[in-house]
Structure 1
Amino acid sequence: MSDLPPDFSHSPIRRFVRYGYRLPMLIWHLFVHLPVVLFLISPIGASMRTASGERLDHRAIRWWQGNLMRVFGFRPRRIGEPRGGTTFFVANHCSWLDITLLHSQRAVSFVAKAEIARWPVVGWLASRAGTIYHQRGSNSSFARVAELMVVRLQEGADVGVFPEGGTGAVDHVRTFHARIFQTCYDADVPAQPVALRYARGAEPAREVAFRDNESFFANFWRLLGNPGCEAEVHFLPIIAPNPEGRRKMSDQARRQIIAALAFATPDAAGEAASDELDPLLEK
């Protein structure tokens, strides 16, 4: 398509064509594949293992989420390897698809805003996958979430968080909230930074992020008709709890993610990690 105008893939005709074949794919994925996955993520699936030793319910979640990404035209690709043992994953955040993308590579109990639980299909499946919900604006909710994260990790489950505290731009990594890294000290587990990169070649796919005042449903529909792009999951070097404190650990994780994204810019407000009370109160 190099001989076509740069904006041809975004034309109304091409968008109409993409809806024409992606909508049937989405319907099939929801009404045929999803019931199978729901059976496999029952306690029966949790007690079974694949040939590689992975829990069957985790494998089912990864398969379903990976195919959901493909329905939207994304091409998931993993760079690096997730840590083998119990891990605290920290990632940049620009879209509701971030959880889906990371789940396509590793089944993780995410911390997410409580509103996600009410989203059709995505929220329900997130709940079945063990998502920990946080009520925005509530310090008591954060205290409960922090305690639950430690419990999950001590039980051997992976936990994933977005230390920016909310969604931002595809090519911009905001300040990380350092307090959330206290979980690594309390549970005695390392953190693994994860860079989630949406791109077309060397250029960021900026349209993946929410527009101003855009609802989940509007974003969902817009992305379903957008041209496809790469969706990369970069598993970066492990960071052990730093004796110098959680601010140092947070800053190290953020710098790794910025470097992996290549086109990302740091927060204009400064490089230092924030230690505000609630890292999950933003949108």
Structure 2
Amino acid sequence: MSLVSPESALTPRFWRAGSLLAIPRVVWRLSRVIVHVLHGYLRSWRVWPRLDERGRDAECVRWSGQLLRMLGIELVVQGQARPGAKLVVSNHVSWLDIVALNAVVPSRFVSKAEVADWPVVGRMVTQAGTLYLARERRRDAMRVLGLMTKGLREGHTLAVFPEGTTGTGHGVLHFHPNLLQSAIDAAVPVQPVALRYADTVHAVSPLAAYVGDTSLLQSLWSVVSARGLVVHVHVLPLLATAHADRRALAARLQEQVGAAVAP
């Protein structure tokens, strides 16, 4: 799905997302981000293995908050997450979502298996306790569900995007219920979180959305060349899962997160 008209498709998105005047800002931000990521990579070898869970959470919050600032993104938080074991459930707009959530509610995410092989980032994501799902193997979802349940029972905070893909940020897509079963089996609550990106022109910014045929490089350019980009993280009240039906739970979460996403 393309987000641009046929006429504008003739112009490279790089120059539509920010003009030539934005290049100094882009270079400054990207140079800081590269140094920050490399520094995080080194710490993932030297420091992270020696940290306990509390220390890793603090490291995650600090590193993610710094990355948002270096990208020129303001973080606005409403509500507060419950400490202890829980399953964070959020709408999905961008690769930035993981950074924004970790700056507020440090969590272990479920991700596609290919991410583990990404250079530099793969090592950091793995050290953060990410659970990898091989999407091409149907039965792998059951394995990951078992690992999620085990992690929740051990007191960890896990996070999922039940839409299964990114949306434009205008409302939410269908919430798939399968992975929500982990919270029900572990008897821990669900922490809904609504994410919304805005800028100086749009209440729901198109600059952050990582959808359709947008490449990661194009998305990164849109973000680092933007002015006044804000991510709103709305932490909603906990939902109990005792005796819950996963489909009914997914429908309720979809309704609540969808309502909170509206500007």
- TM above 0.5, yes or no, is yes
SS at match of 1:250: helix
Kindly provide the amino acid, as one letter, of the partner of residue 117 in structure 2: R
- Structure 1 partner of 2:60: 61
* Residue 177 of structure 2 corresponds to residue 203 of structure 1: no
Quote the Cα distance in structure 1 between the aligned partners of 2:121 and 2:39. 16
* Residue 246 of structure 2 corresponds to residue 246 of structure 1: yes
Mark the runs of 5 or more structure 2 residues left unpaired by the alignment: 1-15
Kindly provide the amino acid, as one letter, of the partner of residue 129 in structure 1: A
Deviation at 1:227, TM superposition (A): 2.6
Kindly provide the amino acid, as one letter, of the partner of residue 261 in structure 1: V
SS at match of 2:51: helix
Correspondence for 2:51 among 45, 48, 67: 45
CA 1:71 to 1:121, structure 2 compared with 1: closer, same or farther past 3 Å? farther
CA 1:91 to 1:251, structure 2 compared with 1: closer, same or farther past 3 Å? same
Deviation at 1:74, TM superposition (A): 0.9
- Structure 2 partner of 1:118: 117
C-alpha contact 1:107 1:129 (8 A) present in aligned 2: no
Mark the runs of 5 or more structure 1 residues left unpaired by the alignment: 1-8, 48-54, 264-283
Kindly provide the amino acid, as one letter, of the partner of residue 223 in structure 2: L
Deviation at 1:133, TM superposition (A): 1.0
CA 1:228 to 1:72, structure 2 compared with 1: closer, same or farther past 3 Å? farther
Deviation at 1:82, TM superposition (A): 0.7
* Residue 26 of structure 2 corresponds to residue 19 of structure 1: yes
Select between 28-37 and 203-212 the one with higher mean Cα deviation.
Answer: 28-37
Quote the Cα distance in structure 1 between the aligned partners of 2:243 and 2:34. 51
SS at match of 1:174: coil
Quote the Cα distance in structure 1 between the aligned partners of 2:45 and 2:75. 22
Query: What's the Cα RMSD here?
Result: 2.2
- Name the structure, 1 or 2, with higher relative contact order (CA <8 Å, separation 6+): 2
- Structure 2 partner of 1:276: none
Quote the Cα distance in structure 2 between the aligned partners of 1:14 and 1:228. 16
Quote the Cα distance in structure 2 between the aligned partners of 1:33 and 1:146. 29
The aligned runs of 1:114-153 (5 Å cut-off) are 114-153=113-152
Q: Deviations over 1:54-100 (max 9, x none)?
A: x1221111111111111211111221111112001100001111111
C-alpha contact 1:79 1:234 (8 A) present in aligned 2: yes
Deviation at 1:32, TM superposition (A): 4.1
Quote the Cα distance in structure 2 between the aligned partners of 1:107 and 1:11. 31
C-alpha contact 1:91 1:194 (8 A) present in aligned 2: yes
Kindly provide the amino acid, as one letter, of the partner of residue 40 in structure 1: V
Deviation at 1:37, TM superposition (A): 5.9
Q: Deviations over 1:221-262 (max 9, x none)?
A: 442223341112111011111545122211111111112112
CA 1:60 to 1:38, structure 2 compared with 1: closer, same or farther past 3 Å? farther
